[in-house]
Structure 1
Amino acid sequence: MVRSQALTGREPGGGFGKPKPPLFPGEGGRHRQRVFRDALADLLPPVHDCLPTIRISDMEVAAITAAPDPVSSLKTLLGERGVPVLCLASE
């Protein structure tokens, strides 16, 4: 426990926002990299005739997995998000 308390805080040169050269140098590079990749996931699927990206929060996942019928629960959520019925067909 003493060791974990001593290590509390940001490590030098680390952290979630550290630079990610060559495309994202400087402070906050990791955040900019993540935003860029999210934008690609949102913008590229229609260009390649794929369905759009759907984001499901961790709270929604917890509710779906706790439901008596998780498959139906997921289908309901996706239907509310506008996913075409053909994509919700069973195996």
Structure 2
Amino acid sequence: MTAESSTITGPNAEERHSMIAVAAYFLAEQRGFLPGEAERDWKLAEHQIDRMLERLRQAGQPTEGLSATDIRNALRLWSH
């Protein structure tokens, strides 16, 4: 595997799921954890994470090993 191909690989399914869970939590937090919107939070988080990962891939940035703080900061920047 070349260095270039290693930068374009993404997180595995378990890592992606964890990233979506973190993002969904932050979305719920932003709306005060009011009940009844968990599914919407998850779907929006899924979309945002996939978009974030694609942007990182296009920029040639590694997409694995992102921390919860990285995810939160990225979502804040890209949601505006």
TM over 0.5: no
TM (norm. structure 1) is: 0.29
Query: In proportion to residue count, which structure has more helix?
Result: 2
TM (norm. structure 2) is: 0.32
User: Which of structures 1 and 2 has the larger relative contact order (alpha carbons within 8 angstroms, sep 6+)?
Assistant: 2
